[in-house]
């Protein structure tokens, strides 16, 4: 269950293809290079539980470093290169990283980061070119040390920091060797999604996020090919599916929206019939968007709900979703419990915090025992939550309503922004939309839609009224926006998640 198994039987099979450049890394090369790097890190004193950090745009070397960590019992912390130097330096320092790998494409950022790092012994290594003051990745790979059996490593990725500093999500290392089964993500990918060596998996999202790393690793464990988009582009994704005969691909809902916004003649230009599964996750998918994708690609969409914490998972097929519209499925990893703020289990159909139950708590927040404790149920430390709200129906299907942090309380009534965003997403004049609560002297909060228009449309009071009326035609009037603001662009992460705290911050500042 790792690349070495497949390198031994089929060394020339492509493990990684960079979609833009066409660069191929075979299983033989992935095995040789990750093993050499693991040996080199061991020679430099790294041991089980130590941390290495990676700062890079999408590149094949990221997966080489990933597998070096997996076969060394190390944690790998992949860092968002869109952050400011001080933010990256904070993560490198907080993670206690002993090595920083950086691509030459991030040279200026990498130099500023190392200048802000606390560890004077930090080993800095550059790949895909050189960086002043950094060692050479290729020279590091010249090590010939081969490690004996070592416990499997893991990712330690940092939360996006909805409030305050981001926190490292530190899974408990599994008590297995790298070539042994037991990794839950690999198990799900193999047994639920039926991925094997014949599959070609398209990874269009940044590799510093959880799903691209973990799913890429799972596909490699199973012998498939990972096709990586250097950067997401809707037409480029269709072109890669066509060119490489992709069988399984993973998207976030915003990517679906961008695909649906392509002109029909562009969509019709590419053959996507090789796809047997289109996986989506990371954020709730507006039902109209999902229905439009099913109408286009057929009932091949499979959604899963999980988190970087890996505390639980639900899964739903297109066929199930068509009868349970809006659901994220039934539990596939850890029973679901819906609880109120005091931890009491709520009846079927009532909205509360979503907890998953595992045999034991599977993660902690690095250096933050208070946040770790806050994620636990008051009475069951093996029930954990990431702050999502939802309910379970009579058949055990989970429906998400929103994050607790984003819920709007207007006149004592709970309003969930996601429901309103879903209603507005496919408005023909809207390119992007965020819904937030803003201060209201009478009701406490009122609903505001912040809208980025599609090209060719101009902001106006009449268009704002049209958008409000459109929302009222789809949802209850009390949920519809009371006002609409137009902006040039909404802040989204590279995976398409709204950075809603940045939008809220602007309006809260204006209210004071």
End residue of a domain, out of 189, 221, 253: 221
pLDDT at 416: 81
Q: Per-residue pLDDT averaged across 306-315, rounded?
A: 92
Return the number of other C-beta atoms located less than 10 Å from residue 253's C-beta.
22
Number of domains in the chain: 2
In a domain, 184, yes or no: yes
In a domain, 313, yes or no: no
- With a pLDDT cut of 90, the percent of the chain lying above it is 76
Crossing angle of helices 234-244 and 253-260, rounded to 10°:
90
Q: 484: which strand partners?
A: 449
Q: Per-residue pLDDT averaged across 2-22, rounded?
A: 96
In a domain, 452, yes or no: yes
> CA angle, 15 as apex, 10 and 17 as ends, to 5°?
135
The range of the structural domain enclosing residue 442 comes to 407-511
Return the number of other C-beta atoms located less than 10 Å from residue 403's C-beta.
17
* HEC readout, 370-394: HHHHHCECCCCCCEECCCEEEEECC
Q: Per-residue pLDDT averaged across 192-209, rounded?
A: 95
Residue 364 contacts residue 384 (beta carbons within 8 Å): no
CA–CA dist 244, 256 (Å, integer): 20
End residue of a domain, out of 221, 239, 272: 221
CA–CA dist 489, 492 (Å, integer): 9
CA–CA dist 138, 188 (Å, integer): 34
Task: List the single range of 102-106, 250-254, 276-280 with lowest mean pLDDT.
Answer: 250-254
pLDDT at 237: 98
CA–CA dist 28, 9 (Å, integer): 9
Q: Per-residue pLDDT averaged across 83-109, rounded?
A: 95
In a domain, 326, yes or no: no
431's enclosing H/E stretch is strand 430-440
- Whether the per-residue pLDDT at 148 is higher than 80: the answer is no
Q: Per-residue pLDDT averaged across 113-139, rounded?
A: 95
CA–CA dist 181, 162 (Å, integer): 34
Sequential DSSP letters for 137-185: HHHHTT--------B--EE-EEP--SSSS--EEEEPPPSSBTTSS--HH
What CATH number should be reported for the domain holding residue 453?
Answer: 3.30.300.30
In a domain, 300, yes or no: no
Average pLDDT, rounded, for the chain: 92
Q: 76: which strand partners?
A: 52, 155
- Whether the per-residue pLDDT at 150 is higher than 50: the answer is yes
- How distant, in Å, are the alpha carbons of 7, 450, 493, 496 from that of 232? 29, 24, 12, 10
Residue 327 contacts residue 397 (beta carbons within 8 Å): yes
- Whether the per-residue pLDDT at 497 is higher than 80: the answer is no
pLDDT at 162: 44
Tell me how far apart the 2 most distant CA atoms of the chain are, in Å.
71
Q: Per-residue pLDDT averaged across 17-25, rounded?
A: 97
- Whether the per-residue pLDDT at 257 is higher than 50: the answer is yes
Surface-to-core class of residue 149, CB atoms within 10 Å of its CB (0-12 exposed, 13-18 middle, 19+ buried): exposed
- Whether the per-residue pLDDT at 163 is higher than 50: the answer is no
Q: 392: which strand partners?
A: 398
In a domain, 385, yes or no: no
The tokens describing 473, both together, are 């035609």
In a domain, 424, yes or no: yes
pLDDT at 149: 67
- Whether the per-residue pLDDT at 468 is higher than 90: the answer is yes
End residue of a domain, out of 165, 188, 221: 221
pLDDT at 158: 92
In a domain, 257, yes or no: no
Show the beta-strand stretches assigned E in 210-350: 225-228, 248-251, 277-280, 301-305, 313-317, 330-333, 336-339
pLDDT at 164: 60
CA–CA dist 223, 443 (Å, integer): 57
- Per-range mean pLDDT, top range of 237-246, 254-263, 471-480: 237-246
Q: Per-residue pLDDT averaged across 504-512, rounded?
A: 69
**pLDDT greater at residue 439 or residue 368:** 368
CA–CA dist 281, 501 (Å, integer): 21
Assign 7 a pLDDT band (cuts: 50, 70, 90).
very high
Pick from 108, 156, 105, 101: nearest CA to 126: 101
23's enclosing H/E stretch is none
Assign 377 a pLDDT band (cuts: 50, 70, 90).
very high
Residue 17 dihedral angles phi and psi, to the nearest 5°: -125, 125
CA–CA dist 454, 426 (Å, integer): 11
The tokens describing 369, both together, are 């025992």
Q: Per-residue pLDDT averaged across 346-363, rounded?
A: 93
Pick from 91, 22, 92, 88: nearest CA to 60: 22
Residue 79 contacts residue 116 (beta carbons within 8 Å): no
pLDDT at 512: 47
Assign 509 a pLDDT band (cuts: 50, 70, 90).
low
The structure's pTM equals 0.84
**pLDDT greater at residue 19 or residue 478:** 19
- Whether the per-residue pLDDT at 445 is higher than 80: the answer is yes
CA–CA dist 503, 167 (Å, integer): 21
- Whether the per-residue pLDDT at 499 is higher than 90: the answer is no
């Amino acid at each position: 269950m790792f690349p070495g198994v497949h390198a031994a039987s089929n060394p020339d099979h492509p493990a990684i293809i960079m979609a833009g450049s066409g660069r191929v890394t075979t299983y033989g090369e992935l095995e040789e290079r990750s093993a050499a790097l693991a040996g080199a890190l061991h020679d430099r004193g790294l041991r089980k539980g130590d941390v290495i950090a990676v700062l890079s745009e999408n590149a094949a070397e990221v997966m080489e470093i990933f597998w070096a960590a997996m076969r060394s019992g190390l944690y790998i912390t992949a860092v968002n290169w869109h952050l400011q130097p001080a933010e990256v330096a904070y993560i490198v320092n907080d993670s206690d990283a002993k090595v920083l790998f950086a691509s030459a494409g991030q040279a200026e950022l990498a130099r500023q980061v190392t200048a802000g790092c606390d560890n004077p012994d930090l080993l800095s290594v550059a790949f895909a070119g050189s960086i002043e003051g950094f060692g050479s990745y290729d020279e590091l790979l010249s090590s010939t040390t081969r490690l004996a059996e070592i416990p499997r490593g893991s990712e330690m990725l940092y939360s996006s920091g909805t409030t305050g500093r981001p926190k490292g999500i530190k899974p408990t290392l599994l008590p297995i060797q790298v070539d042994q089964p037991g990794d839950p993500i690999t198990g799900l990918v193999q047994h639920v999604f039926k991925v094997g060596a014949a599959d070609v998996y398209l990874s269009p999202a940044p590799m510093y996020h959880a799903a691209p790393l973990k799913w890429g690793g799972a596909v490699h464990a199973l012998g498939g090919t990972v096709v990586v988009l250097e950067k997401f582009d809707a037409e480029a994704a269709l072109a890669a599916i066509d060119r490489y005969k992709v069988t399984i691909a993973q998207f976030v809902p915003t990517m679906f929206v961008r695909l649906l916004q392509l002109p029909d003649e562009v969509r019709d230009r590419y053959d996507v019939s090789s796809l047997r599964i289109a996986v989506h996750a990371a954020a709730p998918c507006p039902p109209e968007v999902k229905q439009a994708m099913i109408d286009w690609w057929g009932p091949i969409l499979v959604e899963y709900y999980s988190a970087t914490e890996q505390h639980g998972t639900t899964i739903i097929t297109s066929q199930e979703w068509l009868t349970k519209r809006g659901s994220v499925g039934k539990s596939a990893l850890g029973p679901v419990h819906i609880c109120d703020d005091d931890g009491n289990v709520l009846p079927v159909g009532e909205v509360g915090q979503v907890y998953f139950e595992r045999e034991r708590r599977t993660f902690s927040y690095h250096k933050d025992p208070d946040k770790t404790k806050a994620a636990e149920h008051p009475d069951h430390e093996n029930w954990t939550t990431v702050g999502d709200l939802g309910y379970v129906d009579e058949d055990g299907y989970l429906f998400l309503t929103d994050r607790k942090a984003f819920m709007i309380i207007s006149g004592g009534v709970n309003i969930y922004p996601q429901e309103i965003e879903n209603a507005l997403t496919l408005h023909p004049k809207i390119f992007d939309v965020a819904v937030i609560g803003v201060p209201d002297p009478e009701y406490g909060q009122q609903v505001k839609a912040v809208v980025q228009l599609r090209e060719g449309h101009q902001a106006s009071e009449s268009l704002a009224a049209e958008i409000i009326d459109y929302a009222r035609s789809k949802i209850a009037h009390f949920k519809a926006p009371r006002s609409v603001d137009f902006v040039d662009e909404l802040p989204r992460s590279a995976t398409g998640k709204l950075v809603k705290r940045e939008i809220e911050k602007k309006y809260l500042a204006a209210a004071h």
